[in-house]
Amino acid sequence: MKRTKLDKRFFASTRGRIVTLLRGATRTVNELAEKLGLTDNAVRAHLLSLERDGLVQQTGVQKSHRKPHLTYDLTPEAEQLFPKSYDAVLNQLITALKGRLGSEGVNEVLREVGSSIAANQGSDQQNGDLEHRAQRVVKVLEALGGAPRIESDNHNLSIRSSNCPLGAAVVAHPEVCQLAEALVAEVMGATVQERCDREGSPRCRFDIANL
């Protein structure tokens, strides 16, 4: 398969639906079968085809009471299926801003943009409990093209995404993560620490301070 963005017909097909389900979430054959209303064998056949095309890969094993289940995820190449036409423009814009404003000035602008994006989502964004506000963050990041999820462990709350909606820009300009950090902080109304993984395909992580 050519590594080009596919049209809506692909995403409406069973293979396209599998790719969408795997975006931002590692899943087993059983989990995919349940989501799609298909048999395990039918899902395996589609996964085999997607593996041959270089879009899906086995990533590990999920333990269970009976027998372990293989888990699947998208390959970095699969992210090219999703439209990100802004990448080249954003990279050039940040490069130009650095030339005019310097690194410190660009960082300030990026944080201001992140806060503005969050503010435009509605005047009540900081209302509700921490979990409710985290759900709002998820919706905002999804609208930008991410695949975020909320993780909670020992009263610590994090928002992670296995794919970064600004990934192409982050590779060239790591400081772009500050835009997303400011966005999350504005919606949460809390202190947020960006701990993104920028090795290879960027992965988002925002740790939220308990109030």
How far is residue 140 from each of residues 121, 122, 193, measured CA to CA in Å?
A: 8, 11, 18
Domain boundaries, the chain: 8-81, 87-208
- DSSP codes joined into one string, 12-31: HSHHHHHHHHHTT--EEHHH
* DSSP-derived pairing of the beta strands 156-161 and 148-153: antiparallel
Same fold, 8-81 and 87-208: no
Determine if residue 104 is left, alpha or beta; phi over 0 gives left, psi from -120 to 50 gives alpha, anything else beta: alpha
| β-bridge partners, 148 | 161
Residue 196 tokens read as 């993104």
pLDDT in tens, the chain (211 residues): 444 445 678 888 999 999 999 987 899 999 999 999 999 999 999 999 999 999 999 988 887 767 788 999 998 888 777 766 667 788 888 899 989 999 899 989 988 988 888 887 654 555 677 888 889 898 888 888 788 899 887 778 899 988 788 887 888 889 889 889 999 998 888 899 999 998 877 889 999 976 5
- Please tell me the predicted confidence (pLDDT) of residue 122: 56
| β-bridge partners, 62 | 69
- Please tell me the predicted confidence (pLDDT) of residue 204: 92
Q: Report the distance separating Cα 186 and Cα 118, nearest Å.
A: 6
How far is residue 208 from each of residues 18, 45, 156, 199, measured CA to CA in Å?
A: 31, 41, 7, 22
pTM higher than the cut 0.85:
no
- Please tell me the predicted confidence (pLDDT) of residue 158: 92
CATH among 1.10.10.10, 2.30.290.10, 3.40.50.280, 3.30.70.1380 for 8-81: 1.10.10.10
Question: Which CATH topology does 87-208 take?
Answer: Muramoyl-pentapeptide Carboxypeptidase; domain 2 (3.30.1380)
How far is residue 25 from each of residues 21, 28, 41, 187, 194, measured CA to CA in Å?
A: 7, 10, 21, 23, 20
- Please tell me the predicted confidence (pLDDT) of residue 2: 43
The 156-161 sheet, strands edge to edge: 148-153, 156-161, 204-208, 192-194
Residue whose C-alpha is closest to residue 176's, from 166, 185, 184: 166
Residue 203 tokens read as 């992965």
Cβ neighbours for 175, distance < 8 A, ≥ 6 positions apart: 103, 106, 107, 110
- Please tell me the predicted confidence (pLDDT) of residue 49: 94
- Please tell me the predicted confidence (pLDDT) of residue 4: 44
